[in-house]
Structure 1
Amino acid sequence: MTIRVVLADDQAVVRGGFRALLDLTDDLVAVAEAADGVQAVEAVRTTRPDVVLMDIRMPGIDGIEATRRIAADRSLDRVRVVMLTSYRVDSYVFEALRHGAAGFLLKDIEPDGLRAAIRDVAAGQGLLAPAVTRGVIEEFARLKAPEAAGAERLGVLTEREREVMALVAAGLSNEGIGRELIMSPLTAKTHVSHAMTKLGARDRAQLVVLAYETGLVRPGGR
């Protein structure tokens, strides 16, 4: 299966580098390019890609707002947005994850790492670079208190779903959750899916953000 990608970055040289890389990869293809957020949203609506590589900082509408618009469009539910940044710890990344991004990548990522990341997120395998992304979420979760109504919001979940959600926030894969709770990876995936549906989370990244925002887990621990 060919994975269709939209490249959104205000620097033509960056887009050209990514396109050249995709052109050399049999199962990846760039279907459109965009130089700002407005163009990115329009390109996504027109081409319906599997993955968007979205620069955070762009003129006009930035990558965060473009991601929010894409995530809010129910007809684009299958599109996964991966944020591109030059900074390992970036407050904008946290906001992007809150608004629907599936994860983020540093622009200096090695070619093989980029290819693997695109394939992973297209296959629905969840949070990209879990250790790094979790670190970003933790860093900025420290700056705000948990929601006062956090416990009430989590009331829609079963006890098992809360346990699974906490383990997702700890960076565990479905396989890791299965080992921790003595269940199959498929059962773990089902619990994750139920938690996302009940909480209105677009993907695992938003589930991690919600785990911190509601106080289910706290920075520095589960």
Structure 2
Amino acid sequence: MVAVDLTVRVVLVDDDSLVRAGLRLILGGCPSLEIVGEASDGREALTLIEQTVPDVVLMNIRMPTMDGLAATRALHDRGDSARVIVLTTFDTDDMVLTALRYGASGFLLKDTPPADLVDAVRRVSKGEPILSPSVTAQLIATVSRVPDDRRKRAVDLLAGLTEREQEVAVAIGRGLTNAQIAADLYLSVPTVKTHTGSIFTKLGVSNRVQIARYVHDAELK
């Protein structure tokens, strides 16, 4: 029997109606994606998400009434299954880091090309965290000065990885996708996923951004 991809249910959360319209135009034209609702602030989004049970939520950070950070944390705290992709202009680095701690599954700039946005929604729906390369670079740049104790912790943790796992970790730190890592290291995508899972376990992290920060802190290249 041939496996058939199920339709990914998406909720759009942004206080700018023009942004929502643009996202609706991009995602609505894809037959495997369905926009099941839109909200203009975090509080409205919480009610809508409970009613529609989406697979993925595209969440703006800066919004009135309840911002995207508070909404993401509330979704995490109440155990919602919806995965959150934070959309950002990246003028608030600390907010992105906070969203990471609150359980966001992805970070994308609002000017991400349409094809990449569609791909990100599909991948996040399948459980693969997404971080655009440009966001990775800027995120790491915000923590360029690494205290000695933090550098030592990163070095000690990464020393527990195998040589191949370290190579994969460095590639993740560069913002590469699993497919790109596979091509770069001459591995299969399933093998990259296996190494990534092992890295998650050994480092005690839950997403690729945390791996990228350890790689940066340890000054691996």
Q: TM-score by structure 1 length?
A: 0.75
| Residues 1:27 and 2:32 aligned together | yes
Stretches of structure 2 that go unaligned for 5 or more consecutive residues are 1-5
SS in 2 for 1:141: coil
How far apart are the structure 2 equivalents of 1:44 and 1:201?
A: 27
Q: 1:44 to 1:163 in 2, by over 3 A?
A: farther
Residue 34 of structure 2 aligns to which amino acid in structure 1? V
1:68 to 60, 66, 73: 73
Cα 1:47–1:197 change in 2 (3 A) is farther
> Counterparts in 2 of 1:91-130, with a 5 A limit?
91=93, 92-130=95-133
Deviates more, 1:4-13 or 1:18-27: 18-27
Answering whether residue 191 of structure 2 is matched by residue 169 of structure 1, we say: no
- CA shift in 2, pair 1:178/1:84, >3 Å: closer
Aligned 8 A contact 1:161 1:195 in 2 = yes
Q: CA deviation at 1:102?
A: 3.2
Verify: 1:3 aligned to 2:5, yes or no. no
Q: How many angstroms apart in 2 are the aligned matches of 1:133 and 1:115?
A: 17
Residue in 2 that maps onto 1:43: 48
Which of 191, 195, 198 is matched with 1:194 structurally? 198
**Taking CA–CA contacts closer than 8 Å with sequence separation of 6 or more, which of the two structures ends up with the larger relative contact order?**
1
When residues 152 and 37 of structure 1 are mapped into structure 2, their CA distance, relative to the original with a 3 A threshold, is farther
The separation in 2 between residues aligned to 1:18 and 1:67, in whole angstroms, is 19
How far apart in 2 are the matches of 1:40 and 1:166?
36
Shift in alpha-carbon separation, 1:171–1:24, aligned structure 2, 3 A: closer
Query: Which of 133, 136, 145 is residue 135 of structure 2 equivalent to?
Result: 133
Gaps in structure 1 of 5+ consecutive residues? none
SS of match in other structure, 1:6:
strand
Q: 1:142 aligns with which of 144, 152, 156?
A: 144
Displacement of 1:68 after TM fit? 3.3
TM-score norm. by structure 2 comes to: 0.75
Distance 1:200 1:8 in 2: 31
| Percentage of pairs with the same residue | 39
Question: For residue 15 of structure 1, what is the aligned residue in structure 2?
Answer: 20
Name whichever of 100-109 and 183-192 sits farther off: 100-109
Say what the alpha-carbon RMSD is for the aligned residues.
3.2
